[in-house]
C-alpha cells in the first residue's frame, strides 16, 4: 500500500484508507523461521498481518487484543518451527565472543558436536522433541557414529546447555522444559578393551614408518612399547627420558578439560619409571631429528615436550589431548587401506589406550617377564596381601621387559620414507 493511499491517525499500527475511509490495522505476530527457496537455508523473519475494518473503534480493539495476546505470550516468540541449526547459530553468537574466554580447541569440540546435532535433529521441530527422542539420539551416537560413552556424555552436557539456552529465551523459542536432563544413556555398552598380538604390534609399528609426520612414532610407540597413557604421552618432557639408563620417568599427565588442558600427577597420583627398548629409542631419536628440521633450531615455547606434531611445532602450541585419539583413529584408517591394497589382513580397530592394554597383556602372557616388573612399569596397584605389602617393593628394574621386547619387537626400518 502506497503512502499516498492512506493518512495517519496518530495511533501506532492504524492508518485510514483515503478512498473509502476504512481503517488498515497492522498486527505484529512475532517471529517465525522460514526456508529461503533460493539458498535452502532457514532464517528468522518478523511475521506481520493487516486487517481492514470499518470504524476506528474496531481498529483499536484489534490492536488491544493483539497486545494482550503478546502479554500472555500466545503470539510473542517463534510462531514457526524451531530448528537446531538456528538455535546453534544464536548460541554461538551469544557465547563464542563473550567473556567466557573459551579456547579455540573448546570451540572446535563444540563445533564438532554441532555437526552431529544438525545431522540428526536438522528437520525436527525442537518444540516437539521429547526425552525419548534425545535417548534415540544417544543410541544413534553409539550405533551409527561408534562414539564411546565418555563422548556421548559430553554430547548430553552440551545438549542440556542448548535446551537451557532456549528455555531462558522462551519468548523466542517457545520451549519451557529441558527434556535432555532426564534422558538416559546408561544402556550404552562400555567399550571392551582389545589387545593386539605381538605380530600385529610389529605390523603397526612398521606401518608407522611410512608416515610423513614422525610424531606418529611417538603416538604409537610410547603406549605400545612403554605402556604410557594418552595423558602421559601429552605430558612427557625431554628431560624425563634417559637414553643411557633406558628409562622414562612418568611423573606428569596433561589431561583434557573444557577450556583446554591442565597438568597433574599420573593416574594413581604416583610417578613411576618405564623402560625404553631398542625400537622405541630409535623411534624417539627419529622424531627428534625431524623436530629439529622443522624448527630449524629455533627456540619455541612447546619445545620441551616430546610429542609434537608438525602443526604444533610450526605454530608453537601444545597438542590438545582430545585430538590425539582422533589422530590415532585417522592413522588406523590409512594403515588398513595400505594393508588391504597389498592384500594383507587389516588390523583390528582399536583405541589408542588399547596399545597400553596390548603392552601389558603381551608381557604378562609371555611367561618370560616378572609380573611385578610389569605392574611397576604400568603403574598398576598390586594386589593387597601380606606378601606383596611386606616383601615387594618396586626397585626400578625393567631388564626382563627390555630383554623380551628387544627379542620380539621386529620392525623393518628399511621401509621408512627418506631412509
Q: Are strands 23-35 and 14-17 parallel, antiparallel or unpaired?
A: antiparallel
- Here the cell at position 352 is 589408542
Distances (CA, A) of 399 to 248, 276, 370: 14, 10, 10
Alpha carbon 297 to chain centroid distance?
A: 33
Residue predicted with more confidence, 47 or 27 = 27
Average pLDDT in the chain: 85
By CB neighbour count within 10 A (0-12 exposed, 13-18 middle, 19+ buried), where does 279 fall? buried
| Residue 9 confidence class, pLDDT cut points 50, 70, 90 | confident
Residue 18's φ and ψ, nearest 5 degrees, are -70, -40
Taking the complete model, does pTM exceed 0.85, yes or no? no
Report how far residue 315's alpha carbon sits from residue 312's, in angstroms, rounded to the nearest whole number: 5
- Here the cell at position 56 is 476506528
Distances (CA, A) of 287 to 146, 224, 274, 297, 388: 32, 16, 19, 14, 39
Q: Where are the alpha helices (DSSP H) in 296-320?
A: 310-315
Report how far residue 292's alpha carbon sits from residue 261's, in angstroms, rounded to the nearest whole number: 25
Q: How much helix, strand and coil, in percent to the nearest 5, is found in the chain?
A: 50, 15, 35
| Residue 379 confidence class, pLDDT cut points 50, 70, 90 | confident
pLDDT digits (tens, 9 = 90+) for 117-157: 999 998 888 988 998 889 889 888 888 887 878 888 899 99
Report how far residue 369's alpha carbon sits from residue 336's, in angstroms, rounded to the nearest whole number: 31
SS3 of 129-180: the string is CCHHHHHHHHHHHHHCCCCCHHHHHHHHHHHHHHHHHHHHCHHHHCCCCCCC
Q: What is the mean pLDDT of residues 263-283?
A: 91
Q: Are strands 241-242 and 260-264 parallel, antiparallel or unpaired?
A: unpaired
What is the pLDDT, as a whole number, of residue 381? 63
Residue 81 has pLDDT above 90, yes or no: no
Report how far residue 406's alpha carbon sits from residue 404's, in angstroms, rounded to the nearest whole number: 6
| Residue 270 confidence class, pLDDT cut points 50, 70, 90 | confident
What is the pLDDT, as a whole number, of residue 407? 96
On whether the CB atoms of residues 226 and 387 are closer than 8 A, the answer is no
Which of helix, strand or coil describes residue 351? coil
| Residue 214 confidence class, pLDDT cut points 50, 70, 90 | very high
Residue 79 has pLDDT above 60, yes or no: no
Report how far residue 375's alpha carbon sits from residue 268's, in angstroms, rounded to the nearest whole number: 13
Q: What is the mean pLDDT of residues 277-298?
A: 93
What is the pLDDT, as a whole number, of residue 321? 86
What is the pLDDT, as a whole number, of residue 213? 94
What is the pLDDT, as a whole number, of residue 108? 79
Q: What is the dihedral of CA 97, 98, 100, 105, to 10 degrees?
A: -10
What is the pLDDT, as a whole number, of residue 387? 46
Compute the half-sphere exposure of residue 56: CA atoms within 13 Å on the CB side of its CA: 9
What is the pLDDT, as a whole number, of residue 50? 87
Q: Where are the alpha helices (DSSP H) in 270-367?
A: 278-295, 310-315, 321-341, 353-366
Tell me what percent of the residues of the chain surpass a pLDDT of 90: 42
Distances (CA, A) of 159 to 169, 184, 276: 15, 13, 44
Q: Of the given ranges (94-108, 146-160, 294-308, 323-337), which has the lowest mean pLDDT?
A: 94-108
Q: Of the given ranges (230-239, 274-283, 293-302, 358-367), which has the lowest mean pLDDT?
A: 293-302
pLDDT digits (tens, 9 = 90+) for 235-264: 999 999 999 999 999 999 988 765 567 788
What is the pLDDT, as a whole number, of residue 75? 45
Amino acid at each position: 500500500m502506497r503512502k499516498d493511499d492512506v493518512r495517519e491517525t496518530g495511533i501506532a499500527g492504524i492508518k485510514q484508507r483515503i478512498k473509502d475511509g476504512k481503517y488498515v490495522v497492522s498486527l505484529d505476530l512475532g517471529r517465525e523461521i522460514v526456508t529461503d527457496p533460493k539458498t535452502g537455508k532457514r532464517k528468522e523473519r518478523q511475521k506481520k498481518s493487516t486487517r481492514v475494518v470499518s470504524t476506528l473503534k474496531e481498529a483499536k480493539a484489534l490492536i488491544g487484543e493483539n497486545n494482550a495476546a503478546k502479554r500472555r505470550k500466545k503470539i510473542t516468540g517463534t510462531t514457526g518451527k524451531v530448528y537446531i541449526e538456528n538455535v546453534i547459530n544464536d548460541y554461538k553468537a551469544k557465547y563464542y565472543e563473550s567473556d567466557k574466554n573459551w579456547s579455540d580447541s573448546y570451540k572446535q569440540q563444540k563445533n564438532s558436536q554441532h555437526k552431529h546435532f544438525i545431522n540428526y535433529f536438522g528437520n525436527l521441530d525442537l518444540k516437539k522433541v521429547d526425552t525419548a527422542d534425545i535417548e534415540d539420539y544417544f543410541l544413534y551416537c553409539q550405533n551409527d557414529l561408534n562414539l564411546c560413552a565418555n563422548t556421548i556424555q559430553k554430547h548430553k552436557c552440551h545438549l542440556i546447555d542448548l535446551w537451557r539456552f532456549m528455555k531462558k529465551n522462551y519468548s523466542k523459542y517457545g520451549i519451557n522444559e529441558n527434556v535432555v536432563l532426564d534422558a538416559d544413556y546408561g544402556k550404552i555398552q562400555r567399550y571392551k578393551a582389545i589387545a593386539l598380538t605381538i605380530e600385529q604390534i610389529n605390523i603397526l609399528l612398521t606401518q608407522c614408518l611410512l608416515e610423513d609426520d614422525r610424531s606418529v612414532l611417538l603416538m604409537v610407540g610410547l603406549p605400545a612399547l612403554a605402556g604410557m597413557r594418552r595423558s602421559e604421552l601429552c605430558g612427557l618432557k625431554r628431560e624425563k627420558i634417559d637414553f643411557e639408563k633406558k628409562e622414562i620417568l612418568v611423573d606428569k599427565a596433561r589431561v583434557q578439560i573444557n577450556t583446554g588442558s591442565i597438568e597433574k600427577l599420573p593416574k594413581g597420583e604416583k610417578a613411576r619409571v618405564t623402560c625404553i627398548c631398542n625400537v622405541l629409542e630409535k623411534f624417539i631419536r627419529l622424531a627428534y631429528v625431524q623436530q629439529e628440521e622443522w624448527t630449524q633450531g629455533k627456540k619455541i615455547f612447546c619445545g620441551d615436550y616430546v610429542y609434537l606434531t608438525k602443526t604444533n611445532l610450526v605454530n608453537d602450541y601444545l597438542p590438545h589431548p582430545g585430538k590425539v585419539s582422533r589422530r590415532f583413529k585417522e592413522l588406523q584408517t590409512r594403515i588398513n587401506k595400505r594393508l588391504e591394497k597389498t592384500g594383507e589382513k587389516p588390523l583390528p580397530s582399536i583405541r589408542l589406550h588399547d596399545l597400553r592394554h596390548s603392552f601389558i597383556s603381551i608381557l604378562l602372557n609371555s611367561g618370560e617377564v616378572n609380573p611385578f616388573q610389569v605392574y611397576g612399569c604400568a603403574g598398576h596397584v598390586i594386589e593387597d596381601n601380606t606378601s606383596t605389602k611386606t616383601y615387594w617393593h618396586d626397585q626400578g628394574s625393567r631388564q626382563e621387559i627390555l630383554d623380551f621386547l628387544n627379542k620380539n619387537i621386529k620392525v623393518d626400518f628399511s621401509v621408512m620414507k627418506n631412509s
